[in-house]
Structure 1
């Protein structure tokens, strides 16, 4: 049986995906498959991937552009491994990435989740850590920093396709809850085996803020009454407001802040609403600094 199924969603990353795939070909642990899901690329991605397909472990799946969450779910549907991992097409992993995961699962039964640390291209390393609002276990949620057993990823029905931002965090929150309820082990490795490339440039920042605004409203509605992220529902609403303002949708952001104040009256929500009417303070507090 295949131990690890690795899923790489990609869109117009023909100039970057080789780096990710080559890092997998250097793995010291070899029982894996790679499923590359091309989300409708219009560049030379397919030609680049073709060069790797002489390795029988590598499969290429093309779909009409449907978003990263749909692409990852398509990969899940194709996966044959006992454990599923995700990797973004502009990131890399160390040669011991899979071996370190295997060492921790090989002699342990009923494993649901394992996380490792992140080595940022720019910034400090991040080891798995506890977020007590979600779990008492250490974990990470960046693609490449965690694996899920097939029963977990199938049990939670994969990614929420309505999300273009916060989709990994939300997926991991559900996976942690599922593992706890079903008494599956949640483990971590104190090694930074994911080399994470967080790129920032104005166009991408705008799109990210737009998607954060949408995600905030969507998650507020999804978890309003219950669910693992119910505790964060008002923070989602504030997230939607501030990120709307960041993309210059100031009236929309103010409407959301009014809703927040009505739903959760208090000094903090009143202050946020007040700031939305004062351009210099609004700019200082919330606008992205170049």
Structure 2
């Protein structure tokens, strides 16, 4: 390690037990960052002098690569991301980093289209329904939805009527059985009580403070149980309990300012990975899980965190 805690050379493990190499200059900014893909090959992150990725090649689950081409300033011009079927979705970016046209994938491998005006708010937002059709979100000039049509699993639509300022007056949302749950809204647009549907057709309850900050947010897990997010007065989660696929919980302890002190995240086998955090929110040591349930160790720099995450 360098004086400032920057790794000079960072050797990381791949799932097959080999090592990936992270060559570091004196200042601690990676010049070239080689990371491992699940099949034991490497993905390549070429770095300019300032530490901003020029071109970021990331791995897809099938071992192929997704490409994120970066301009000098670090804002993606064109962002190719992978879909579960190994194909690519395309996010074309404006000069300032605002998506001009955002093509995202639907579960059936087709694309959904989000057309963007120059300023960035969507003019028309086409999103996918489970049956491969599209739902339509018509947007006014300022980007506030006038009327938001969303899809229910049976292919019908749910309607979200919007006030002039963009705050829902009354928000009717769908449950999988085609019934509707009700979100009653005060004049100012802050929900007083938010009833949302769980997959089994029951409701989950989100009680709201006067200012619109959730006091306690009960969310549903796939089996219809609840996960709990306790909120302080200011709205920053003190302790965030989230559900894992096996119905256990993962714990995210939060500092006063909302920076995670210690972030325990779940691996697919139900074990935890550990991310110890400095006071400022920069990870001191980041233990991440590999597919085989082992850990890899990533030493992080305070000054290049944003460029490396």
Q: Structure 2 length as normaliser, TM-score?
A: 0.25
- Which protein has the bigger helix share? 1
Larger Rg: 2
- Relative contact order (alpha carbons < 8 A, sep ≥ 6): 1 or 2 greater? 1
